[in-house]
Amino acid sequence: MTGRRRSVGILATLVLVVSACTSGASSPPSGPPSSVPSSAPSSTSSNAPSSEPSKAAEPVTITWYHIQNNDPGLSLWKDLAAEYTAAHPNVTIDIQANENEAFKTKLTALLQQGDIPDLFQTWGGGGLRQQVEAGLVKDISADIASWKDTINAGALSMYAVDGKNYGIPFDLGLVGFWYNTKSFTDAGITKPPATWAEFLTTVETLKAKGITPIALAGKDTWTGAFYWAYTAVRNCGQAGMDKAVTTGAWTDPCLVKAGEQFKQLIDLKPFQEGFLAAPWDGAGSGAAAMATFNGAMQLMGQWLPGTVNANSGGSRPIGEGLGWFPFPSVEGSPGDPYDGLGGGNGFAVGKDAPPETVDFLKYLVSLDAAKRWGALNSGILPTTVGSESSVTDPTMASVLEGRAKAKFVQLYLDQATTPELGGAINEAVAGLYAGTGTPESVTQAITAAAAGQ
Amino acid sequence: MAIAVGSRSRFSRNLRAWGGAGLFMLPALALYAVFVLFPIVQAARFSLFDWNGLKALDHFVGPANFGRAQADPVFLGAVGHNLFIVVMSLAIQIPFALGLALLLNRNFRGRAILRLIFFAPYVIAEVITAIVWSLILQPNGLADHFLTTFGLEGAYSPWLADRGTVLIALFFIITWKYFGFHMILLLAGLQNIPREVEDAAAIDGASRWQAIRYVTLPLLGPTLRVSVFLSIIGSIQLFDLVWVTTRGGPVNASNTMAVYMFDRGFVRFQFGFGSAVAVILFLLCFVLALAYQRWVMRRDLEGATTYG
């Protein structure tokens, strides 16, 4: 009897231990995480919010949903809201901070109920377009006309639908190659590759030295889709990408060429063992492979250093031993060699929001607020013109440098299009690197999905 | 007169019985209606629309979503994978559980411990099972080291990352998790079989194997049929384990109907189409459950069901 009870106890403990050990790794984000806290909030003193005459003294409550549910971002948003309400005593801000995935679920439920938040997180692109078409979001073009020049134009355009503004960005990151500087040194590579041909040579050099050239998180198919999206941006240029995204015609030969180019890389077998089952974050992940030098390079957004740190068990401080270089240029392609692929975070205004909401939003993206975001070096790369210098972390600064050179930044394809088409793109590209598809089948599958919606 | 009185009193007796039962069942019935019946009706309604979950529900497409599912090779593949799991479960998992139950039904020391150990995986949450096995099966994971330590170098391969082996690897994990459950179920059934019957068979000269084949198994029939039923339904609804380990990949190689439904509905926001897949899944399980109870478990449920 006691024996049995004891074994039950042991079993219960085992289950607890197992669940405790794994819970940290159990929720890989399905999309790029938005904030990667790295340092304590630096308490920059702030100027008082733009004290425009608060004509309506009637009490107003603004419901605000954001996803910076961890410090330092959480505190900074709270501080900014407190400063604003101090200057506008009639305004109350109801702050709802949610985790990324929880937010998506919650927002969907709220929008379906018709209970639309006044101000809420958006990633722009096709998701925002669906909300606009459902009449849930306010056209703020006229409200922001006087100050929209203070926001990075490329970033702002990701939150516009048919030429009208529906949201304001506060962050824009860029996807690029992160690399382990030690792996490059071990392989005798002195300079990151600048062209596609040089890049392929780099991969071969690393492989010859017995170093896995690239970590790829094949289970999270959005990571693999970055490669195809970037080769597409290079081969089609801004005009070609705009055409595909807006018309749904994904058949242009330049897109097939993009697939062929990615195929050149795939054929070198550059990825780590078992990459098709590797998630982006957590056990056996692409980030873990990078952290343990089982992959010299990884094509990823600006959140990589934070995730690599988290997957190293703390053995690799954020950004340490990591370098960044932009996606290589492609000889003779129509795309500008500095064109980028990226995305970020912004806020949309709900259709029934009180007029004060836009004024509050203006304060949240003011130069002062943006500089305070930059100074946190948290992975949020502020988009208010003139705030770039506030980012001091060297790896983040190199991402910002890449962003400054980019005349055009293509929003992540699974966000620029609808979730439906985005899913189809990720799946089709996965077929390419899993060996079940061809460059032609990728464009055919995407076109079929675009036609079916 | 007498007849009328008699029927009235029977009627009022019936009414009282129904009233009493109804009163006690009301809370459960209300919950059932709100959380089971209503969503089923809603899903059936949504399945007739092209709807992304956000805009107004105004684009009626009739049965087009069902036609689309039935024409999608990815969905058909998922159905095939479900069938594979059903067949494998019936062919391997249940016989294995039965064998263990027969062994553990004998008297020997440590029997209780063994039962507990075999049952333990069933107690662990499906998501945790999935994460633990992803860790074990990953390159440089426990399985890799284990095989290398025992001199089987090169025997390891990342099975979950290989389109050819991912389903078998998943079936292995499913079996690991559920054989203990079926074993306990069958063990309980075995203990209901009177020892005298088996003894009588032995006295009549039946060998051990003959006793099992002609006495034990037929008497275990009702339990076996329940076990098979639960196994089939579980295999058709398979979701958590697959979603966490492979998310249906690589490239749909381990997609199941439920994974496909979740991906299309909640990841790609095709709520209308996702609902259609949900309706197909529901009908499949429903028809199967009814047919199975009607024809296979008929004798076991005598008195518990009514036949029209």
The enclosing domain of A248 has a CATH number of 3.40.190.10
Answer yes or no: is B102 within a domain. Answer: yes
Answer yes or no: is A406 within a domain. Answer: no
More confident residue, B250 or A100: B250
pLDDT tens column, A225-249: 999 999 999 999 999 998 999 888 8
From CA A23, how far away is CA A420, in angstroms rounded?
Answer: 30
The verdict on A108 touching B (C-beta cutoff 8 Å) is: yes
Total number of domains constituting chain B: 2
DSSP state of A271: B
- Spell out which residues of chain A touch residue B250, defining contact as CB-CB under 8 Å: 218-219, 276-277, 430, 434
Answer yes or no: is B55 within a domain. Answer: no
Q: How far is A445 from chain B (nearest CA, A)?
A: 12
Is the same domain home to A127 and A207? Answer: no
Full residue range of the structural domain in which residue B148 is found: 64-296
Is the same domain home to B76 and B181? Answer: yes
Chain A's closest residue to B158, CA to CA, is A274
Is the same domain home to A119 and A229? Answer: no
**Which residues of chain A from 203 to 242 reach within 8 Å of chain B, CB to CB?**
218-221
Is the same domain home to A146 and A255? Answer: no
- Amino acid B306: pLDDT: 52
Is the same domain home to A69 and A145? Answer: yes
Is the same domain home to B115 and B17? Answer: no
Q: What residues of chain A score a pLDDT lower than 50?
A: 1-54
Test B161 with A276 for CB contact under 8 angstroms: yes
Is the same domain home to A296 and A443? Answer: yes
Indicate whether B15 pLDDT > 80: no
- Amino acid A153: pLDDT: 85
Is the same domain home to B146 and B18? Answer: no
Is the same domain home to A289 and A430? Answer: yes
- Spell out which residues of chain B touch residue A136, defining contact as CB-CB under 8 Å: 54
Beta pairing partners, A161: A164
Is the same domain home to A196 and A140? Answer: no
Is the same domain home to B8 and B106? Answer: no
Is the same domain home to B37 and B120? Answer: no
Is the same domain home to A335 and A359? Answer: no
- Amino acid A319: pLDDT: 81
B262: CATH = 1.10.3720.10
- Spell out which residues of chain B touch residue A219, defining contact as CB-CB under 8 Å: 246-247, 249-250
Answer yes or no: is B90 within a domain. Answer: yes
Is the same domain home to B87 and B183? Answer: yes
Test A7 with B55 for CB contact under 8 angstroms: no
Is the same domain home to B87 and B170? Answer: yes
The verdict on B78 touching A (C-beta cutoff 8 Å) is: no
Test B138 with A276 for CB contact under 8 angstroms: no
pLDDT tens column, A378-407: 888 999 999 988 998 888 888 998 898 888
Mean pLDDT computed over every residue of chain B: 89
Is the same domain home to A188 and A215? Answer: yes
From CA B144, how far away is CA B155, in angstroms rounded?
Answer: 8
Test A436 with B138 for CB contact under 8 angstroms: no
Q: Which of A130, A283, A420 sits opposite B134 (nearest CB)?
A: A283
Answer yes or no: is A48 within a domain. Answer: no
More confident residue, B299 or A439: A439
Is the same domain home to A284 and A316? Answer: yes
Question: Which among A442, A422, A445, A443 is positioned nearest to A434, based on CA atoms?
Answer: A442
Is the same domain home to A418 and A378? Answer: no
- Amino acid B107: pLDDT: 83
The verdict on A45 touching B (C-beta cutoff 8 Å) is: no
pLDDT tens column, B141-193: 899 999 989 988 888 999 999 999 999 999 999 999 999 999 999 999 999 99
DSSP state of B140: T
Total number of domains constituting chain A: 2
Q: If you count residue pairs, one on A and one on B, with CB atoms under 8 Å apart, how many are there?
A: 117
Is the same domain home to B197 and B151? Answer: yes
- Amino acid A126: pLDDT: 87
Q: Which of A8, A219, A274 sits opposite B247 (nearest CB)?
A: A219
Full residue range of the structural domain in which residue A334 is found: 176-340+413-451
Is the same domain home to A180 and A293? Answer: yes
Is the same domain home to B109 and B247? Answer: yes
- Amino acid A332: pLDDT: 83
- Spell out which residues of chain B touch residue A30, defining contact as CB-CB under 8 Å: 267
Are B78 and B257 spatial neighbours (Cβ–Cβ below 8 Å)?
yes
Answer yes or no: is A408 within a domain. Answer: no
Indicate whether B252 pLDDT > 90: yes
Answer yes or no: is B305 within a domain. Answer: no
Q: Does this complex have an ipTM over 0.95?
A: no
More confident residue, A247 or B92: B92
Beta pairing partners, A176: A300
- Amino acid B266: pLDDT: 87
Answer yes or no: is A4 within a domain. Answer: no
Optimal mutation site among B162, B268, B273, interface A, most CBs of chain A within 10 A:
B268
Is the same domain home to B70 and B199? Answer: yes
Answer yes or no: is B256 within a domain. Answer: yes
Answer yes or no: is A221 within a domain. Answer: yes
Answer yes or no: is A9 within a domain. Answer: no
The verdict on A444 touching B (C-beta cutoff 8 Å) is: no
* pLDDT band at B7; cut points 50, 70, 90: low
Kindly list the distances between the CA atom of residue B84 and the CA atoms of A11, B113, B167, B245, in Å, as whole numbers in the listed order.
32, 33, 8, 18
